Amino acid sequence: MPKDQANEEITYLESLLSKSNLPQDLRMTIERMINRVKRVTQLSGFSQEYEHVRKFVEWVTQIPWGVYTKDNLDLENAKKVLDEGHYGLDSVKERILEYLSVMRLKQLKGEEIPRAPIFLFVGLQGIGKTTMAKSIAKALNRQFTRISVGALGSVTELRGVPKTEPDAEPGQIIKALINTKQMNPVILLDELDKASGAEGKRADIMAALLEILDPEQNYAFRDHYIDYPVDLSKVLFICTANTLGTISTALLDRLEVIRFYSYTDEEKIVIGRNYILPKVLKRAGLDPSQIEFSQDVWQIIVRPLGYDAGVRQLERNIESILRKAAKLIVTGKSQKIVITPENVRNFIQESGVI
């Protein structure tokens, strides 16, 4: 590497450092790393260490040190956001509003707002666990990000790979802070019960999660790549699971379990008509005036093949109907579609739903 180019690269690293808000002792450590590379490049014009230092500096300076958003603890706003995103689930919403009330009281008294509990949403697929977590983030005015625990192959994906390894990089927790650009996002740890099927790996992942989620430890979480204490105490962690059987007892002891129960057919009809249909209409490019659903057809759309706890299949059914309707309108065969119990099978038969 020519000396001029090497000097440009060193200047680049120094500019990253100067623009960041790193803790002072970490800043001094990185300054020493950059100075060491600078001395070597001045002598030989090249340092094998440069690439490792550059990669480390780029990662560390992207962490939003000291950046926090102010929570919106307005209960009326929170209730509005939760109701807009979900029909029913009243017991779940009530529990969440209770916790927000405690935080609001502390805020009004000028006292330190207590750490939010770590929620574990438990229930079958498709009943709103993930969307409820998103709604909580929206209500609080925090950024949201999701980590799929079920997709983790090893604990290093959570805790990072040390700098000495060839594929060194931070773990998913640090990346979540970088992606949200704040130190107090809502992080969803999805499918906690589906952590690696191998007993040893699952035990390692559960142990790492214990440190990440435990309020007595997570104020100084140490990612193996960053190798510096990172404060996770202001992060709102929400976990989801279908069952509790594979989650360690020690971890469960630190979680606030909130159960999501299956929707009734009556609730699904309201959800389909008032929540899913407007959203899918927009995706399909149709105006509400171009399609009409008779009241008695919803029972068939909701339960075409028997009982289903969630609403994902319901959304697929509505999508199938609207695609068929869009084709009829575009080809000029009809200007307005009316879906009735008599013709509904013609609209979703091709998808194999009925």
Of the listed ranges 35-39, 53-57, 318-322, 325-329, the one predicted with least confidence: 35-39
Confidence band of 133 (pLDDT split at 50, 70, 90) = very high
pLDDT given at position 353: 46
pLDDT given at position 122: 92
pTM value > 0.85:
no
Q: How many CB atoms lie within 10 A of CB 353?
A: 16
pLDDT given at position 126: 80
What is the distance between the alpha carbons of residues 53 and 225, in angstroms, rounded to a whole number?
A: 12
Confidence band of 351 (pLDDT split at 50, 70, 90) = very low
Which range in 111-120, 153-162, 191-200 is most confidently predicted, on average pLDDT?
153-162
Tokens of residue 108, six digits: 């009004």
Which range in 56-60, 295-299, 308-312 is most confidently predicted, on average pLDDT?
56-60
Is domain 265-348 given the CATH code 3.40.50.620 in the classification? no
Mean pLDDT, residues 18-46: 83
User: Distance between terminal CA atoms of the chain?
Assistant: 66
Residue 213 CB contacts under 8 Å (≥ 6 apart), including other chains: 118, 237, 239, 251, 254, 255
Of the listed ranges 98-107, 173-182, 199-208, 280-289, the one predicted with least confidence: 199-208
CATH architecture of 75-259: 3-Layer(aba) Sandwich (3.40)
Question: Domain residue spans in the chain?
Answer: 3-62, 75-259, 265-348
Cβ–Cβ < 8 Å for 126, 311:
yes
Mean pLDDT, residues 34-58: 79
Tokens of residue 3, six digits: 């000396």
Confidence band of 261 (pLDDT split at 50, 70, 90) = confident
pLDDT given at position 352: 45
What is the pLDDT of the chain when averaged over all its residues?
A: 85
23-41 b/e (C-beta count within 10 Å ≥ 16 → b): eeebbeebeebbeebbebb
195: which DSSP letter? S
pLDDT given at position 240: 93
What is the distance between the alpha carbons of residues 126 and 109, in angstroms, rounded to a whole number?
A: 40
Confidence band of 309 (pLDDT split at 50, 70, 90) = low
pLDDT given at position 134: 94
